[in-house]
Amino acid sequence: MAAIHVCFSSCGCNRTAHCVDWGRNGLVCYGACRAVALYQPQQSEGPGGIVANLVAHEDRVNCVKWISMQDGGDETELVSGSSDRTAIVWQGTGTKVRNAD
C-alpha cells in the first residue's frame, strides 16, 4: 500500500464581518464554510498552514473570537457563532482543540 501525505490544503474565509481573529497565541482562527479553521502563520518546518479544522456547526460560521485571558497570556479558548443559531466554545491549543460542551 502506498503512503499518502497532504502536500497542500486550502480553505477560504467566509465573507462576513468578524469572521477572523488573530490571537496572542500566534494562531489565526476564521470561519470556513461550516467549520472554524486554525491557521498558523509561521511553522518551524517552513511556511504557515492550516493546523486544524473544527467542525460542529450545521450552517455557515459567521463570527469567531479568541477569548482573552485576564492575565494577558496566550488564549486557549475561542467562540464561534453560526447561522444555525448556535455558539460553540472551543478549548485547547494547536491541533488539540475540542468542543467545550
Provide the domain limits for residue 45: 20-99
The alpha carbon torsion through 92, 96, 100, 101 (nearest 10 deg) reads -170
Domain assignment present for 30: yes
**Is there a domain that residue 15 lies in?**
no
| 53 part of a folded domain | yes
pTM of the shown model: 0.82
Give the position of cell 450545521: 58
- Alpha helices by DSSP H, listed for 1-101, are none
Is 11 among the domain residues? no
7 within some domain? no
What is the DSSP pairing of strand 46-55 with strand 35-43? antiparallel
The order of strands in the sheet holding 87-93 is 61-66, 77-82, 87-93, 96-99
How many domains does the chain fold into?
1
Closest by CA to 79, choosing from 19, 39, 33, is: 19
pLDDT, tens only, 59-79: 999 999 999 988 988 999 999
Of the pLDDT bands very low, low, confident and very high (cuts 50, 70, 90), residue 100 is low
